[in-house]
Structure 1
Amino acid sequence: MLRQLLINAIILATLTTYLVPVGNASAQSAPSDPDWNVTEVTVEKSLPGPALWKITKEDKVLWVLGVMPMQRTHWDMSRVKRLLDGAETLYLPPLSEGTISLSSTRLPEGQMLRDVISEKTYIRYRATARTFNIETKEDEQYQPFWAGQKMFQRIRLYNGISLNAVTEQVVDAAKARKVKVRRIALYDSSDTLAESTTFTTEQGEACLNYTLDSIDHLVPNRKRDAAAWARGDVDTLRARLAAAPKVTCGNNQSVRGNKARSDTLRAIEQALSGPRRNVMISSLSVLLMDDQLMHELSALGYKVIAPRSKPAP
């Protein structure tokens, strides 16, 4: 469970930061291509399944599927499976993993959470616990950041919100088709996790409030978000992501983001240099909200074709 908490901590802290950026490209006229003709037609109701982005250079093609933390849901995998048929590689987003001593995340002996955060934040923390029927007596022995992570873990599991269910399904489909699976990058986040144990009182409380904000944003809308993702309703998803709480926790977001951006750009270049098409899984927040890499892709001669929105009927 500690390892899962560590992964959750990293993912939660990067929900609105860089994972696999491709840009906020407007829809363009699709080139004549059998893959595109099947997936992008004028009758939107004939396009089941989540939105896909297409990156091209000359005759090379990379398809990108955006993912997000959401409630587990049934979705139409037919287009993704078809794109995996004959594909060379499935690229997975950068991942951060690390280790930390559990004892270092606890408060000093004799202190409890309510002793180190404001009354307002503690009342909010307890109200959230009551809403989801969570017992927090043991969790309140931990530093604010980690108390928040433990709460997030329980609420996520209780509400069926998955951080990687879609990725696991696509990986299984790729392996069944003998498609190579490659992680773009794996980062050691031990230093970031260790940093969390040195937060000041103010920093720790800010992290806890960010976690509570994320719970408030994610959980009440979990069914609607999953449905919008499954039908490719990018307008609804863009609005939801724009309303997501801004990261107020951690000091090295831009450094980690720049590293991931550089590694992803190299992966895109590699994917578009091979003889066959490739598929990539990306953070949906970056696909819909981040323009920074778009300029770099354009400078290298790549074209990004964004999907049309498919709102609910």
Structure 2
Amino acid sequence: MVRHLLPALCLALPLSCWSQTEAPMPAAAASEAAPETILLVGQRPGPGLWKVSKGDHVLWVFGMYAPLPEKMEWRSQQVEAIVAQSQEFLLPPGAHANIGFWRGLTLLPGLIGVKKNPDGATLRDILPADVYARWQPLKARYLGKDDGIERERPIFAAQTLYQAGLKQAGLTNSGAVRAKVDAIVRQHKVKTTETAIKLDIDNAARALSDFKKSALADTACFDKTLARLETDIEAMRVRANAWAKGDIAAIRQLSYPDQDSACDDAVLGADFVKNQPGWQNVKQRAQDAWLAAAERSIGSNDTSFAILGLAEILGPGGYLTALQARGYQVDSPE
């Protein structure tokens, strides 16, 4: 679920805009999931491919998803066959901080304490009392006696707790499926096209300093992450099984508390981001860049292949819906 908006600064800011995670769907309550769901293991194909076409030119899109069973092995003969005949592979949308390797090294001393709350505050100090009361039993269940996490910013503490909860449930956000796709692309020597945008930083040292001193409006991110672990673990298992079997309809039928948007907003609305002119409207710019690359690829190639998170495909304002509005035919997998 988590991506890092400032990898070059090593800030490890959790940003989920471009992660391959569940897409929030208006549907039945997550509590309808069957209790004690047994996770599918062994080799699984995942969903079929979306077909985007104009005339004889086709872009095939594979929907990535997480969390998935830790012991599941993915293999899709359909993906392997499509990649083998493709002339181009589009990487997923995203954003990369542009500061340079050597310049980034000079910032390393300033990274000490970057995950801590300003002025030595603890979670008890900055969270509403009812939210902190919900945190304590979940922390005890998933993290044990980790006193150090009490001084971390809520957005980082939430990320650590969520990953621990997934692990206990036999689920993982690891990129095993993505790594397998990349290996197939390399095997067939398919041209790979970067679609991510580059974010310029006027003054990386000042951005780092601003981040360490400023508070984040990340209580909503923390609260909704707790809600996921309180109410949604079994539904996560159902969705993981549905993806493994290629049952997109089942994924659509399960809603859940969406912490992703709240965590994104905590990062993108922070003062240190507002002070960077090149970091505005990141989500829209990332989508626009991917759509432009997709249109170029369809126009230039008989067959192209791309991967998107299901959130980008099925969620509100989906990427393929945007292509359909521009005159492309979009066919969903059966």
TM-fit CA distance, 1:161: 1.0
Paired amino acid for 1:64: V
Q: CA deviation at 1:165?
A: 2.0
Q: Residue in 1 aligned with 2:186?
A: 175
5 Å-filtered alignment, 1:163-242, equals: 163-188=174-199, 198-199=214-215, 203-216=217-230, 219-240=233-254, 242=255
Find 1:161's aligned residue among 135, 155, 172: 172
**Structure 1, residues 83-134: CA drift from partner, whole Å, max 9, x if none?**
1112122212123455883423312455322122122111211211222243
Distance change (3 Å), C-alpha of 1:136 and 1:186: farther
The separation in 2 between residues aligned to 1:260 and 1:68, in whole angstroms, is 19
Q: Which residue of 2 aligns with 1:32?
A: none
Deviations 1:30-61 (A, max 9, x none): xxxxxxxxxxxxxxxxx964131000000001
How far, CA to CA, are the matches of 1:204 and 1:142 in structure 2? 12
Aligned equivalents of 1:292 and 1:160: distance in 2? 26
> Are residues 1:88 and 2:87 paired?
yes
Equivalent-residue separation in structure 2 for 1:195 and 1:13 (angstroms)? 22
Check whether the contact 1:64–1:280 (CA below 8 A) recurs between aligned residues: yes
TM-score by length of 1: 0.74
Q: Size of the alignment, in residue pairs?
A: 276
Match in the other structure for 2:146 = 136
Counterpart-to-counterpart distance in 2, 1:15 and 1:53 = 16
Pick aligned residue for 2:64 from 64, 67, 79: 67
Partner of residue 39, structure 1: none
Q: Is the 8 A contact 1:8 1:153 kept in 2?
A: no
User: 2: distance between equivalents of 1:302 and 1:82?
Assistant: 23
1:36-115 equivalence runs, <5 A = 49-71=46-68, 72=70, 73-97=72-96, 101-108=111-118, 110-115=120-125
Counterpart contact for 1:52–1:64, Cα < 8 Å: yes
Q: CA deviation at 1:154?
A: 3.6
Q: Is the 8 A contact 1:105 1:197 kept in 2?
A: no
Q: Which has the higher contact order (CA 8 A, sep 6+)?
A: 1
For 1:80 and 1:284, the matched residues in 2 are separated by: 16
Deviation at 1:150, TM superposition (A): 2.7
Task: For residue 279 of structure 1, give the secondary structure of its aligned residue in structure 2.
Answer: strand
The equivalent residue for 2:302 is 276
Contact 2:114 2:212 in 1 (8 A): no
In structure 2, what is the Cα distance between the partners aligned to 1:196 and 1:62? 43
Structure 2 stretches lacking a partner, 5+ long:
24-43, 98-103, 105-109, 270-279
Distance 2:74 2:287 in 1: 29
Report the counterpart of residue 266 of structure 1 in structure 2: 292
Alpha carbon RMSD of aligned pairs, Å? 3.5
Q: Does 1:152 align with 2:168?
A: no
Amino acid at match of 1:10: L
Q: Supply the AA of the counterpart residue of 1:137.
A: D
Which letter does structure 1 place at the counterpart of 2:303?
R
1:288 aligns with 2:298: no
| 3-state secondary structure, aligned to 2:61 | strand
AA aligned to 2:251 is: L
Q: 169-178 vs 97-106, which deviates more?
A: 97-106
In structure 2, relative to structure 1, the CA distance for the partners of 1:243 and 1:111 (3 Å cut) is closer
CA–CA distance in 1 between the matches of 2:307 and 2:182?
10
Higher mean alpha-carbon deviation, 77-86 vs 132-141, is at 132-141
User: Quick one: structure 1 residues 302 and 110, their matched pair in 2 at CA, closer, same or farther if it must change by over 3 Å?
Assistant: closer
In the alignment, does 2:127 pair up with 1:127? Answer: no
Structure 2 counterpart of 1:257, one-letter code: K
Match of 1:41 in 2: none
What percentage of residue pairs aligned between the two structures are identical?
24
TM-score, normalised to structure 2, is 0.70
For 1:10, the equivalent position in structure 2 comes to 15
